[in-house]
Structure 1
């Protein structure tokens, strides 16, 4: 059995971890997926070890010969089949009692994607992998609920300050689609006139000089995100805020 397929490369008892991993240090991935304007989180169910049969964030031990982000990417792919994501470091969680019987510090990474573009397929030490709505999460192992709660707050702060949600929209989108995206991530209803006023005042949207086609309701104008305008404004001290 290769090291990459070894079941002990996922979270099991530290005392039986293989020699090629850093004991007491692990990786956990918090992958947010927007699914029809609803925010989901990608979870796995452990196949073996002390958390057998329980749901968790996809993660595991870090090898001596790999960078942190490489470890995060490897575990995510091996456990869920998801790959080709840019993972951003979220936070290090090191509460003394976060792992049973041993001291284990974990480095959490996160990403925001369109859930429908990343079907989950259980692999390696996972008996199942699935997307869950943030309000329908199962009981999670260790301090993973704490990681999830911190990650949600962090993501919501980030999308209010940076236009990171635009990459989940089609190239051409309506203002309603944009508002629904933000409502899904922020988990709240936004005032339509106020939202549109804020967005248009930023001068970050370029009109496509087109309207929707083939819709039963009144066709809405289409826009695109002007990344060059955003970069130019940011250099001048522009602050994105929803």
Structure 2
């Protein structure tokens, strides 16, 4: 008889919150890894596809409504034998990126800066780091950075996203020149804002481009 192996879906949910790149995690209240931070996850049901399971867990376990409108993509599959001390489990990780999401109403759930998540349950720190690197790489070649912003944002808002995700400061003038010249990245709204103080700043929306030309290289 061929042994059956359970399949779970784990969520790496990232947002820019309180001037930090943060992940949505929950404090485990049962062994193994009692009291350690863990990613939200759950087992796939027999009658659902993987993306459907990810959206269901986003709503039921993570407590985030409207999962269908958020950026959600499959990250990687983790299947080495000892990743769960209780039994052999395959995990399909999904990456979700969104603007400043509200605090989850689920018990034990919290937004924690990724820099503070140095020890996590199972292999969830590895999943989180893989998700962060995926996000960093995608910011170079795609317009995904705008997924961290509100529908209307300034170039300074967008620069803060890049700085927090890449964990490095960027030259404001050079950044402004690059993002405004990238074809289809930004669309002017015709409005301005003074919410950051100083001179009025133009408000933009995310443009139609999915791939950036030229790219925003980290180097």
TM-score where L is the length of structure 1: 0.76
Q: What are the within-5 Å matches in structure 2 for residues 137-216 of structure 1?
A: 137=117, 139-204=119-184, 205-213=186-194, 216=197
For structure 2, the 5+ residue unaligned runs are none
User: Is 1:224 aligned to 2:205, yes or no?
Assistant: yes
Q: Deviations over 1:194-219 (max 9, x none)?
A: 21221122143333344324664122
Post-superposition offset of 1:239: 5.2
> Contact 1:44–1:79 at 8 Å: present in 2 too?
no
Alpha-carbon distance change, 98 to 222 in structure 1, aligned in 2, over 3 angstroms: same
8 Å CA contact 2:20–2:164 kept in 1: the answer is yes
With the length of structure 2 as denominator, give the TM-score of the two structures. 0.84
**Displacement of 1:64 after TM fit?**
1.4
What is the RMSD of the two structures over their aligned residues, measured on CA atoms?
2.4
Instruction: Work out which of the two has the higher radius of gyration on C-alpha atoms and give 1 or 2.
Output: 1
Change (3 A) 1:101 1:81: closer
Matched, 1:31 2:24: no
1:119 paired residue number:
103
Whole-Å separation in 2 of the counterparts to 1:142 and 1:201: 44
In 1, Cα distance between equivalents of 2:109 and 2:155: 34
Asked whether the equivalents of residues 73 and 83 of structure 1 are also in contact (C-alpha less than 8 Å), the reply is no
Change in 2 beyond 3 A, CA 1:195/1:59: same
- Aligned-residue offset at 1:63: 1.7
Query: Which digits, 9 at most, give the CA deviation of each residue in 1:133-156, with x for residues without a partner?
Result: 011116211111111111111111
Give distance in 1, aligned partners of 2:55 and 2:191.
39
Structure 1 unaligned spans of 5+ = 1-21
Indicate the SS of the match to 1:165.
Answer: helix
Q: What count of residue pairs does the alignment treat as equivalent?
A: 210
**Alpha-carbon distance in structure 1 between the residues aligned to 2:195 and 2:102:** 28
Change in CA separation of 1:154 and 1:214 when aligned onto 2, cut-off 3 Å: closer
Q: Displacement of 1:101 after TM fit? A: 4.7
